[in-house]
A = this chain, B = another copy of it.
Amino acid sequence: MHYSSRLLENAVNEFSKLPGIGEKTALRLVLHLLAQNTEDVGKFSESLTTLKREIRYCKNCGNISDQEICEICASPKRNRELVCIVEDTRDVMAIENTNQYNGLYHVLGGLISPMDGVGPSDLNIEQLVSRVATGEIKEIVLALNATMEGDTTIFYINKKIKDYPLVISVIARGISFGGEIEYTDELTLARSIATRVPYSG
């Protein structure tokens, strides 16, 4: 595109690097910000640089946090014997939003993916093994994506911790609420029949 300003072009290029943002969308976002007052643009930029400068990762679970130990790990109301393993902070947020889980988390920071060059050592797995070794944990719930990368990671983690005296479970896979059997893929349907549960009225 023909830009009338190098500065504008530069800002649009930076925005275009964001995932799912093309050049036209980037231009729309930059022009929107340019139309705001200087203070608001400053607040926008500042929120990012402050985040990058001051963000910490919880020493216990690896989740994004403002303190050394995150709010969840620090809470006395949480069941410390139950730990849910997730890929990243978005999964923690999704599970917290259900209001149905009362244990702690362990955030891996990714999934094993040889195609993307991500191996076990790039993830927060050693720290998990240390947590398990303390003997405080009674159950590990693996809540990872139902993909090849998720399954590989589950396999690897299971191998690392299966000799400790604890229960290892994975979240149930099956038909979603509102889902129709007719449109469910074969793998999911087969699994949901094989892992059927007693009807509880």
Contacts and interface: CB of A to CB of B under 8 A. Distances in A.
Interface of A: 1-8, 10-11, 13-15, 17-21, 25, 27-34, 38, 41-55, 58, 63-66, 70-72, 88-90, 92-93, 96-97
A91 to B, nearest CB: 11
Given A6-B66, A20-B25, A45-B48, 7 more contacts: A4-B64, A10-B51, A15-B44, A18-B29, A18-B33, A34-B55, A38-B52
Closest 3 CB pairs of A and B: A45-B45, A2-B96, A11-B47
A3 B18 CA distance: 21
A54 B7 CA distance: 8
B4 A71 contact: yes
B47 A14 contact: yes
B97 A2 contact: yes
Contact of A52 (B2, B33, B49): B33
B1 A93 contact: yes
B19 A32 contact: yes
Contacts of A2: 92-93, 96-97
A100 B68 CA distance: 60
B14 A43 contact: yes
A86 to B, nearest CB: 12
A7 B55 contact: yes
A28 B33 contact: no
A65 B42 CA distance: 21
Contacts of A65: 4-5
